[in-house]
Amino acid sequence: MTERGPRHVQRDATHFQIGPSDLHWNGQSLEIRIKERSLPFGQKVTGHVKVFPEQLFHYSVGLDQHKKHRWGPIAPTSRIEVALEEPNISWQGHAYLDSNEGDEPINRPFKDWDWARALLKDQSTAVVYDVREKNGHENLLALKFKSDGQVEDFEIGARQALPLTLWKIQRHLRSDKNNLSVIQDLEDTPFYSRSILKGHWLGEDLVCMHETLNVPRFSSKAVQMMLPWRMPRIT
């Protein structure tokens, strides 16, 4: 997508406009209209996405030692409908919606983190945030977001190493068993990876959506010079 400056952004209680694209909450679902261009050749990306939450959460927790960065799922268990016109792609499935906010750039406190979430048999969603800061402080969040709106901590096993990505990023995931495996790599960049993994939490063998962020890589001059070619910026 495209990073846009303040003059291209407007919002109120139910509507968020970002350039030609926008998000609207109609009381039942989040409607997203996409009108963008992709790089490197400027192909059109247009269409509609609808996210139907099973349960809304008003939950936020600090990720760093001084709580200058906060995260919280808004609708961790949801259903999604995707109908793109360009390219012509349509599908439905399980979705997850969260929020992140910060009072400073992420490269100040963080070294790296691993994040994962999985849908459980009881239709609740489990999320693990495994954060390492530059000062050596570590913060582990293992939370279960239940269908009745309750949030519970849960115990999880030790951190285990996963195979390096093609860009040599070291991924990790905590699991109660030594049964970790990579099912599919979805995104592999010099500083970030997103994958589908097999793990074991809360007595269940499950499939996790997983990401690893390497902050020093992200902050490097080479990556910062490449980013506008992946995500254009309009001020």
Task: Please name the amino acid found at residue 81.
Answer: E
Largest Cα–Cα separation, the chain = 50
pTM value is 0.92
Q: Check residue 147 and report its DSSP letter.
A: T
The 10s digit of each residue's pLDDT in 82-110 is 999 999 999 999 999 999 999 999 999 99
CA dist., res. 11 & res. 61, Å (int):
24
Cβ 128 vs Cβ 174: under 8 Å = yes
- Which residues contact residue 78 at a Cβ distance below 8 angstroms, ignoring those fewer than 6 apart? 51, 52, 53, 54, 94, 95, 96, 97
The alpha carbons of the chain give a radius of gyration, in whole angstroms, of 18
The 10s digit of each residue's pLDDT in 148-160 is 999 999 999 999 9
Q: Look at residue 231 and tell me whether its pLDDT is greater than 90.
A: no
Q: Which two tokens stand for residue 80?
A: 């999604």
Q: State the DSSP H helix or E strand holding residue 8, giving kind and residue range, or none if neither.
A: none
CA distances from 198 to 28, 90, 95, 219 (A): 32, 26, 18, 30
- Which pLDDT value is given to residue 181? 94
Q: Look at residue 1 and tell me whether its pLDDT is greater than 90.
A: no
The 10s digit of each residue's pLDDT in 107-133 is 999 999 999 999 999 999 999 999 999
Q: Which two tokens stand for residue 234?
A: 């309009």
Q: Which two tokens stand for residue 102?
A: 């910060």
